[in-house]
Structure 1
Amino acid sequence: MSEAGSTFLHALRAALAPVLDEQRAVWEREGPAADARAAALGIVFDEIGGNCPLQAEGSFDQQRFYFRARYNRWRFHAWTGSEHYLDAENRDEWVVERAYGTDMFDAGWMHQHEAIHFICDSVEEYRAQQL
């Protein structure tokens, strides 16, 4: 790697370190309650994480779900089937979308525990509409 590239990466790591440290500290404080709520609702996560976008995939009640938080909105999709969200064609899906934050990129930097709570809220809303 060139010296300029190395300098850039060092500066990028230094700039992101406080953000990532803050996210880690918030997760240690708030994450266990979010995980417990999801487990109580029978939500199973295949994966969750990232920033800009924050994404999650998993299942509940024989439904697959995909969650994505980007810009100033988040969206939750639920459908029947075993396919990965991007591979599932012609599916009948249930979708909820909400605004988040005030700045353009707020949702992309959402804390993971918040995303889990929004996923839990969405599952509860889905179940209520299926009755």
Structure 2
Amino acid sequence: MTDQNIETQDRPITDLAKSLYELSARTTPASDADLIQAAAKYVEGSIPPSELPVPEYDLAHLGGNCPVQAEGVINGKSFYYRARWDRWSLSIGADPIGAPEWTHVEICGAALEAGWMEEDEAKEHLERALALYAAGRPGAQIPPVG
């Protein structure tokens, strides 16, 4: 049996191995017990989003104000990031704006603040949501503005 036909909760085992390798590089020394515990947390989804490894992605654009926007590609699927009013969102799919396959939304400040966030902050939000998507976690939804 090769690692290409082993699946772990719809994620290839190679993604798990990569995450464990990255974890072991951060925690020195990492014992076998630490790696086994990390694997269990990865599979069950209990690693906090801020500790998930950032997946590889191509960023075509990040910038602007009201809204701050980003576009790119992850795992062959387009993504669209948008920050406006008091929230930001990331949508992923063949048509991420019109018919997203995965969406994550978070509140981030008072009214009108999100549209003026700095690019570094937007990139942090974007990468955290991309990590959730790559880990197979569901996106979060909140009611629309208005």
Q: One fold, TM greater than 0.5? A: yes
Q: How does 1:1-131 map to 2 (within 5 A)?
A: 41-79=55-93, 81=94, 85-86=96-97, 89=98, 91-102=99-110, 104-129=111-136
Alpha-carbon distance, 1:41 to partner? 2.7
1:7-35 alpha-carbon deviations (Å, 9 max, x no partner): xxxxxxxxxxxxxxxxxxxxxxxxxxxxx
> Secondary structure, in 3 states, of the residue corresponding to 1:42?
coil
- Is residue 108–residue 114 contact of structure 2 (8 Å, CA) maintained in 1? yes
Alpha-carbon distance, 1:109 to partner? 0.5
Alpha-carbon distance, 1:127 to partner? 1.5
Q: Which has the higher helix share?
A: 1
Alpha-carbon distance, 1:92 to partner? 4.8
Q: Which runs of 4+ in 1 moved over 4 A?
A: none
- CA distance in structure 1 between the aligned counterparts of 2:58 and 2:121, rounded to whole angstroms: 16
Counting aligned pairs with the same residue, the percent is: 32
Which residue does 1:35 correspond to in 2? none
Q: Which has the higher contact order (CA 8 A, sep 6+)?
A: 1
Unaligned 5+ segments in structure 2 are 1-53, 138-146
Task: Tell me the TM-score normalised to structure 2 length.
Answer: 0.52
Tell me the number of residue pairs that the alignment of Structure 1 and Structure 2 aligns: 84
Task: Tell me the TM-score normalised to structure 1 length.
Answer: 0.58
Unaligned 5+ segments in structure 1 are 1-39
Considering only aligned residues, what root-mean-square deviation do their CA atoms show, in Å? 1.8
